[in-house]
Structure 1
Amino acid sequence: MSNEPTMPEDDIMRALEARLGRLHARQRLGIERDHEAQVFGQGLNFFHPENLAASPLLIRAALVAVGLYRRGLANAEKVSLRENRIVSAKLPRAFDGFAILHLSDLHVDMCPQAMARVRALVADLSYDLCVLTGDYRGATHGPHDAALAGMAELRDALRSPILAVLGNHDTILMTPRLEQMGMRVLLNECETIVRDGARIHVAGIDDAHYFRVDNIAKAGEGIPHDEFSILLSHTPEIFRQAAHADFDALFAGHTHGGQICLPGGVALTLDSTLPRAFGAGPWRYHEMQGYTSVGAGSSVLPVRFNCPPEITLHQLQAAGDEK
């Protein structure tokens, strides 16, 4: 576990301003503070149960009343490994078989048993890159030390390199500590990965759902249009912008697949403005392939119904090499 000392907030902001520019850093933190503890009238949805202190108690009471609470807890602990293939003619042969471990919506301080299961699952996995698509904290505001401690414990089970983006539950003040753990947090930025002289690009945007501080143009401005690129976003609802910006793949989370679903995995809500077909698993929009993780953790309460939690192993494949 990381024993790095906590940086004073002023020092964190100076470091973020030097890296991102004063406008983005101050904008992100200012919007966070404006949204803190707001329940009505913020974000894409008018009502946000995750910001209402009584919501967990009310939902828990309802589930207990109908005898489903314990089952929901057990379901939330059963994290499974899913596999997905991304096949592209633009992928260099040097990256054929390149494996990407994708973790999303961990909410590490919500369900310790689920996180223990994640650590066990990743321990023996073989992969070339790990990507995290946001929501490390359980709450949407307030202290984040417990989330950082949980992330440090998980980090010990992961192998580098690790690229990450922030979600709507994450404060930008978490960034320096996450990066001290060896995770590169992409804030409308891009990393280029080189193998045998060939390269692919992985860009990441800041939260587009709640804080709306995403900038796809900035994240992708240095990527040649004929080279393979992946966009990391907490939410998949920017799929149109990503596709028209020439990204070949979009990895996201946020929806939890609904978390509490009807039989057959029919989500009651996805908390996103996007086609339901894009709310979980693989999908395609024009030439871009997408994948929306249902997440390894849970929000509001650590319960799941008809929507098992997951981590995902993506394998990149050059077109023509399909088996």
Structure 2
Amino acid sequence: MRIVSAAALTLAVGAACVAYGTFVESAAYRVRRYDVPVLEPGSEPLRVLHFSDVHLLPWQRRRLAFVASLAGLRPDLVISTGDNLSSPDAVGAFGDALEPLLRTPGGFVFGSNDFQGPRFRNPISYVWKTSAKEAGEAAVMRPDEVREALASGGWLDLNNARGTVDVRGQTIELRGTGDAHESRDKYAQVAGPPAAGTVPLGVTHSPYSRVLDAMARDGVRLVFAGHTHGGQVCVPGYGALTSNCDLPPAQAKGLFRHETADGHSCWVHVSGGVGMSPFAPFRFACPPEVSLLTLTPRPE
């Protein structure tokens, strides 16, 4: 009887955790704030809004309202690191929600779900392997329409591309790659030292070491990434069990210093993400989030 009671209690606790993660925490949106010393000495601070992994479905009104509210943070620069939709029918709603932000300078890259929609996977399998190169994605998405919406206000398409934006009198150089999780990254197309007088920043969807290493060696000061969902299901007091890439789970979200084997380094910010796959629509000890990073002068 004790074994039966313990099993019943375990099932009840598990069901309660799933219900909490699905109906409560999945919509407990947060804004995280960080200071990052990457500007030239004497420069005025800049505020960068970084969002990722919205995974939007057209009927998710609370998520749409949260995205629409982000313009109220009044950033100087906006960075999007992909996996915007979980349904091709959400393109219009996503563009409408972002419209106030599109008036701010920005840049974006895509993740795999910007090309092909999610399909069912056993979420527990992420603990012992990544989801890379699993075939048979369900819906074909509409990346050209998403690209057009994001670029409509002047945001730079940084998928294996490089460009500059002027932000409050400072020239920001942005370089990005395609999704390394799906081997779409072609860093050679953006490689090389930054232009003189610019603040070099990097943008990629999946924070694989090969991309971070290459950017650090080229002098990029801060790299923005997403993809990990912060681990999505975390252990309270411990953190993420997986990063779904080759970074350690402790770096599944947040701001940290990345070091290469040959002594180069850069700051990296990995967003915990706004959404998740509709086939695993829950979070635990890992609320959905965006980040507002204040870029400050480096020490002299």
Normalising by the smaller structure, the TM-score range is: 0.7 to 0.9
Q: Secondary structure at the match of 1:272?
A: coil
Task: Tell whether the 8 Å contact from 1:92 to 1:199 is kept in structure 2 after alignment.
Answer: no
Aligned-partner Cα distance in 2 for 1:297–1:63: 26
The share of aligned pairs that are identical, in percent, is 29
Letter matched to residue 205 of structure 1: T
Q: Secondary structure at the match of 1:217?
A: helix
Identify which of 284, 303, 309 aligns with 2:288: 309
Identify which of 98, 102, 105 aligns with 1:155: 98
Letter matched to residue 48 of structure 2: I
Structure 1 length as normaliser, TM-score?
A: 0.70
Shift of 1:221: 3.9
Shift of 1:175: 3.1
Compared CA separation, residues 264 and 147, structure 1 to 2 (3 A): farther
Aligned-partner Cα distance in 2 for 1:302–1:64: 18
Identify which of 40, 43, 49 aligns with 1:91: 40
Say which is worse superposed, 276-285 or 252-261, in terms of deviation: 276-285
Shift of 1:275: 2.1
Identify which of 18, 26, 32 aligns with 1:82: 32
Shift of 1:74: 1.1
Compared CA separation, residues 162 and 151, structure 1 to 2 (3 A): farther
Aligned-partner Cα distance in 2 for 1:134–1:164: 7
- Asked whether 1:178 is paired with 2:147, we answer yes
Which residue number in structure 2 is paired with residue 145 of structure 1? 88
Alpha-carbon displacement from aligned partner over 1:191-213 (angstroms, at most 9, x marks no partner):
21235764220112111112x12
Identify which of 246, 255, 259 aligns with 2:219: 246
Task: Tell whether the 8 Å contact from 1:265 to 1:306 is kept in structure 2 after alignment.
Answer: no
Aligned-partner Cα distance in 2 for 1:197–1:213: 33
Letter matched to residue 91 of structure 1: E
Structure 2 length as normaliser, TM-score?
A: 0.75
Task: Tell whether the 8 Å contact from 1:79 to 1:118 is kept in structure 2 after alignment.
Answer: no
Shift of 1:92: 6.3
Task: Tell whether the 8 Å contact from 2:75 to 2:104 is kept in structure 1 after alignment.
Answer: no
Which residue number in structure 2 is paired with residue 235 of structure 1? 206
Say which is worse superposed, 125-134 or 177-186, in terms of deviation: 177-186
Extract unaligned runs of 5+ from structure 2.
Answer: 1-10, 116-140, 260-264
For residues 1-323 of structure 1, what are the structure 2 equivalents within 5 Å?
66-72=15-21, 73-88=23-38, 91=40, 93-94=42-43, 96-109=44-57, 111-120=60-69, 122-138=70-86, 144-158=87-101, 159-171=103-115, 173-181=142-150, 182=152, 183-194=155-166, 198-210=170-182, 212-221=183-192, 223-224=194-195, 227-237=198-208, 238-264=211-237, 266-286=239-259, 287-299=265-277, 300-320=279-299
Aligned-partner Cα distance in 1 for 2:92–2:223: 28
Task: Tell whether the 8 Å contact from 2:171 to 2:197 is kept in structure 1 after alignment.
Answer: no
Alpha-carbon displacement from aligned partner over 1:7-41 (angstroms, at most 9, x marks no partner):
xxxxxxxxxxxxxxxxxxxxxxxxxxxxxxxxxxx
Compared CA separation, residues 157 and 264, structure 1 to 2 (3 A): farther
Letter matched to residue 108 of structure 2: A
Compared CA separation, residues 254 and 265, structure 1 to 2 (3 A): farther
Compared CA separation, residues 289 and 155, structure 1 to 2 (3 A): same
Say which is worse superposed, 282-291 or 165-174, in terms of deviation: 165-174
Shift of 1:150: 3.2
Q: Secondary structure at the match of 1:67?
A: helix
Alpha-carbon displacement from aligned partner over 1:169-216 (angstroms, at most 9, x marks no partner):
111851344324524322211121235764220112111112x12122
Q: Secondary structure at the match of 1:202?
A: strand
Q: Secondary structure at the match of 1:308?
A: coil
Aligned-partner Cα distance in 2 for 1:230–1:118: 23
Say which is worse superposed, 105-114 or 254-263, in terms of deviation: 105-114
Extract unaligned runs of 5+ from structure 1.
Answer: 1-61, 139-143
Compared CA separation, residues 228 and 74, structure 1 to 2 (3 A): same
Aligned-partner Cα distance in 2 for 1:116–1:198: 31
Q: Secondary structure at the match of 2:95?
A: helix
Alpha-carbon displacement from aligned partner over 1:22-61 (angstroms, at most 9, x marks no partner):
xxxxxxxxxxxxxxxxxxxxxxxxxxxxxxxxxxxxxxxx
Alpha-carbon displacement from aligned partner over 1:107-153 (angstroms, at most 9, x marks no partner):
01184423322323x14211111110010122xxxxx5323123213
Q: Number of residues paired by the alignment?
A: 251
Runs of 4+ residues deviating >6 angstroms: 62-65
Aligned-partner Cα distance in 1 for 2:197–2:62: 43
